[in-house]
Amino acid sequence: MSAYDDLMLFTRDTQALAQVAGRLGWDQETMMPREAVPQRAEEMAAMEHILHERRLNPRVGEWLEMIDDATLDDVGRAQLRHIRRDFDRASKVPAQLASRIARVTSAAQGKWAEARAADDVAAFLPVLSEVIDLKREEGQALAAGSNVYDAMLSDYEPGTTGDQIASMFGALRPALTDLRVAVRAAKAPPKLSGSYDEAAQMKMTRHLARTFGYDMSRGRVDKAVHPFSSGSGLDVRITTRTSPSDPFNCFYSTIHEVGHGAYEQNIDDAYLLTPLGRGVSMGVHESQSRIYENQIGRSRAFSGWLFGQMRDAFGDFGVPDADTFYRIVNRVNDGFIRTEADELQYNLHVLLRFDIERALMGGDLQVGDLEAAWNDRFETDFGYAVDKPSNGVLQDVHWSVGLFGYFPTYSLGNVYAGCLHEAMRSDLPDLDISLASGDTTPATDWLRANVQTHGGLYEPREVIERAAGQAPTEAPLLAYLTTKFRDIYDL
């Protein structure tokens, strides 16, 4: 066999082990016994140690040197691009540090959950401080004298810097703030009321998953505190959550995670268990979840179909017609939780976290001042005060598991989704006719062909440029949000 063949066989085993490690994380969030946390921390640390050793195995470097890129096709060169990037990263991070991060973040996840349940910030800060110190050490190793936060960001959105994102977010913020102020001054649609059986919600959520093309023969839908998606290829799992008083939380969390899951399921099978067999970046990944949830799932056409489905499932639930239902689905609400935020205000939550975590990593904000900084910023941006830590600084799991650099990809995904939606509507002028009957196939097929099937073949921005026909810009997202909410609120 050639050096390339040997490298790809080795890489396939590494990818398979990474999937097993991911399954351990999924199990910890869904089914693992509560007292198993210390043992699971050791298991995950051991897996990370093995994976780290494989990623920096000297044979990988030798194979990379032996391979002549000119002899490969586009797929082969793309595989090498990812393998080189991962090898370079692994070579910079000591194995002992990688294991310590895995062990500490696994334990921190449990401590975060306990602190969140008790609204006890002080109980979480010591382990968070340890996580930050370890991640900063990792970032310094990766940056090699360059910007530490940019090095962290590159794990989730290769080729993008913190300054570039800050510039884009700076363009988003004034327009979103002005629109939010105008909307909050206008007459709001009614709120959903009543109680909705949680078992019926889970039945509906599985129906919605299939409606959006999620292949249940290669996937699962389970419940977790924080909805997420895990896995790729032939084993992709998503989670959701239920609330008796808020079925939309369940339904739209599910549609959101289906966007992630469908992306992974729809990648070309030829890339299975290779570096190309996964979403190319978290920003592109988030573009899929957000366009499924919002531009498709909260559209007037699709929400009309969902209105009928809810009447069938729950009987008369107090909403008179599909138009009122559409306005309720898109109602702008005061609230604290990012994952429950309406489409208009969601990005303001992300911008808050982006600025805070950059300050934490840069040493401009100390962990002991984190809660006060969060609460001050939230009141400035949203106009009311955080009432308890579980609605504030303790609401997200990301920092406990060391995902610094991840938060900005949520809003970057919204920007990408705006570009994709504009192009999709241009290509599918009759899309609303299908959505009104609950048929999402034209939209999901378009996304599969233009985004999802490529996996990691192209760089993130190139994926969006090829699909949308233009470089990513915030303009389509702002135009979409302005048109939509001015209509709903009669502005």
* Lookup: tokens for 14: 């590494």
Q: Which of 48, 257, 340, 357 is catalytic?
A: 257
Is 257 labeled as catalytic in the residue annotation?
yes
Beta bridge partner(s), residue 155: none
Compute the distance between CA of residue 405 and CA of residue 49 in angstroms, rounded to an integer: 22
Phi, psi of 273 (to 5 degrees): 55, 35
The catalytic site residues sit at: 257
